[in-house]
Amino acid sequence: MPKTIKQLREQRDALAKEARNILDKNTGEYDADRVDEIYAEIDKIDGKIKREQQQLDLEARLQSEADDPDTPAPQNGGRQRQERPGDEVRSLVFDAYVRGGEAAVNRLPENVLTEYSRQVQNAQSTGVDSEGGYLVPTTFSGVLLEAMADYGGVRAVAQVQSTQSGETIQWPTVDETAVTGEWLAENASATDGDITFGTTSIGAHLASSKVVAIPFALLQDAGIGNMEGMLNGLLASRLARLTNAAYTVGDGSGKPTGIVNGAGLGHTTAAGLVDSFTSDDFIELEHSVDPVYRRDASWMMHDTALKVAKKMKDGEGRPIWMPGVSGQAPAEILGYSYTPNQDMAVPAAGADSVLFGDMSKYLIRDVMDITLFRFTDSTYTKKGQVGFLAMLRTDGKTIAANNVAIKKMRHAAT
């Protein structure tokens, strides 16, 4: 009989504690083969837990639709979304717009359209209804952005700010890590120690999902009740891949400035380590960051680099990667959590393959909600389709002065 998720988590926790006990009780030689076996078993169990959770989520959605086909299924792993005031009206307009365009919207009750117009004006929407743009309901927009964060990468750990307008923001920066006060003799005058501020400009670049084509029949089918969820799945992955690449390695030209480009150089591997690194390299990178920024620090790297790190031992032969001691605790490298990011460079000559520091010092700025456009021109009509396009105005940049909060490790060129 298959094990439940609870039983799998209990099995995983027991294995993690066993590994922790082996390492804690044996400061010298220890059963390395058994520790490696435990880590391999934990990886398998984590995979089973993920698949079981996906199956449960699917069954819950199908059951919800069977019980009440007019009620959209909960999103986000079965958690019911909390709607904000006004979302009911915006969802009605949105659903009508997706299925039948402006003609369907115009057939809605007058009080619904009046309330929707008031909400759009209050939100200062940049989408113009007559041009095909409708403000996406906050439930849809929020879940879409959350799905983008679920893909991993920068948005999952960065500081995210939302603004109602898109003008450039001058974000203040200051580096006081090397500045101290002073001791004064009696009646002595204090010296001037003015803070030197810098500024970082945060703009708003336009990200597009490209057009998604959906058949007429699917839109006209009343049995498809959750159009928000369907479009969310189609659009989130496109915007997530596009924006995460820019948040990671963007050059700032028509796109965000990536977290790698905004990071200071913390450590370069020794000659010959062009596509590999050692545990000492991780320690050097860790201590290149001032302790004040290590309080909330974490690692970021490509999965290829993470695979290498998970097999790495320190000078005493102890693994630098450790699984969490419970199903809720994150796995760690040298005591710090980590974020896999597939847009980071893989280990290679001259590549910046690992980041370390306070990732919240990278700021992502979103302008308003996501805007959705609907296309019914001949390009799509002759194929029996309707086109949809999502757009997001966003920017990203490191806001810590002098690039000291986040550092990167660079591989030797030769």
Tell whether 72 is covered by a domain: no
Tell whether 108 is covered by a domain: no
* Residue after which a domain boundary falls, among 40, 67, 94: 67
pLDDT in tens, 153-168: 899 999 998 888 888 8
Return the HEC string of the chain. CCCCHHHHHHHHHHHHHHHHHHHHHCCCCCCHHHHHHHHHHHHHHHHHHHHHHHHHHHHHHHHHHHHCCCCCCCECCCECCCCCCCHHHHHHHHHHHHHHHHHHHHCCCHHHHHHHHHHHHHHCCCCCHHHCEEECCHHHHHHHHHHHHHCCCHHHCCEEEEECCCCCEEEEECCCCCCCCCCCCCCCCCCCCCCCCEEEEECCEEEECCCEEEEHHHHHCCCCCCHHHHHHHHHHHHHHHHHHHHHHHCECCCCCECCCCCCEEEEECCCCCCCCCCHHHHHHHHHCCCHHHHCCCEEEECHHHHHHHHCCECCCCCECEECCCCCCCCCEECCECEEECCCCCCCCCCCEEEEEECHHHEEEEEEEEEEEEEECCHHHHCCCEEEEEEEEEEEEEECCHHHCCEEEEECCCC
Per-residue pLDDT, 181: 75
Residues 11 and 147 in one domain: no
Residues 53 and 148 in one domain: no
Per-residue pLDDT, 133: 45
Per-residue pLDDT, 75: 39
* Residue after which a domain boundary falls, among 67, 90, 109: 67
Residues 161 and 28 in one domain: no
Below-70 pLDDT ranges, the chain: 1-2, 26-29, 58-59, 61-88, 90-91, 102, 116, 118-143, 151-152, 173-180, 193-198, 221-230, 326-328
Structural domain boundaries, residue 158: 130-177+197-414
Residues 20 and 161 in one domain: no
Residues 268 and 134 in one domain: yes
Number of domains in the chain: 2
| Torsion angle in degrees (nearest 10) through CA of 156, 305, 297, 152 | 0
CATH at residue 160: 3.90.1690
Per-residue pLDDT, 7: 85
Per-residue pLDDT, 37: 86
Per-residue pLDDT, 95: 72
Residues 32 and 162 in one domain: no
Tell whether 93 is covered by a domain: no
Residues 152 and 45 in one domain: no
Residues 140 and 279 in one domain: yes
* Residue after which a domain boundary falls, among 29, 46, 67: 67
Tell whether 106 is covered by a domain: no
Per-residue pLDDT, 226: 58
Residues 222 and 341 in one domain: yes
Residues 262 and 334 in one domain: yes
Burial class of 47 by CB neighbour count within 10 A (0 to 12, 13 to 18, 19+): exposed
Tell whether 123 is covered by a domain: no
User: Whole-prediction pTM value?
Assistant: 0.72
Per-residue pLDDT, 386: 85
Tell whether 87 is covered by a domain: no
For tokens 């057939």, name the residue.
107
Residues 56 and 156 in one domain: no
Per-residue pLDDT, 143: 66
Tell whether 73 is covered by a domain: no
Residues 49 and 135 in one domain: no
Tell whether 125 is covered by a domain: no
Per-residue pLDDT, 269: 95
